[in-house]
Amino acid sequence: MGFLSYGYKAGKGIGQAINKTKTNVPKTEIGKKIRDLKIATQKSKSSLAKLKQTAFEIENNKPITFKKSTKKSESNTEAYKRIQKDNTKVIKSMIDKATEKKADGGRIGRKLGGGTNMAKRKTNVQKIKETFAPKKQLTPKQMKIASLAGNKKKIDGPDFEKLRSKKV
């Protein structure tokens, strides 16, 4: 059974509202004036309806629906500044995210545990280099402390014990 076998005719009743709605773009001067007149009559009808609604609410002691606004409307420069401020925040966050070398999305970096801790985690090569790297040199003050127990290149527990016993 096809689409047309159920009695539907193509183009009949489908999209009629769209086809019947016509745009109002006048080409002549008279057409433009008629359009402006129609717009003005609609505005006057709406303002009259608002006036009647307000009069009804005043007579019946109801809360007024269409209150007069005392707020200052936003100017174009204020709107521009507000939008610029919002845009700079968004762009700054995008740049910060791009400059971070953080894995993003999916299962990136999950092999060794967490995705965000990968930058902090040391690889085996780094651990080996740290273990067998030459030790840091002691400062002159640290060398004085180390010389108390004997070995000038290494600070031990006995060094601290001697320091404590001297202070007491």
Query: Mean pLDDT throughout 11-19?
Result: 61
Lookup result for tokens 């003005």: 40
pLDDT at 114: 52
Cα 14 from chain centroid? Answer: 43
Half-sphere exposure of 88 (CA within 13 A, CB side): 6
Would you state the pLDDT for residue 2? 53
The amino acid sitting at 66 is: F
Cβ count near 119 (within 10 Å): 10
pLDDT digits (tens, 9 = 90+) for 19-48: 677 777 899 999 999 999 999 999 999 999
Tell me what the mean pLDDT of segment 154-165 comes to: 71
Which single residue is written with the structure tokens 């086809």? 19
Residue among 159, 150, 152 nearest 137 (CA): 152
Per-residue pLDDT tens for 62-94? Answer: 988 888 878 888 889 999 999 999 999 888 888
Structure-block tokens of residue 52: 């009647």
Q: What global pTM score does this model have?
A: 0.32
The two structure tokens encoding residue 103: 């894995």
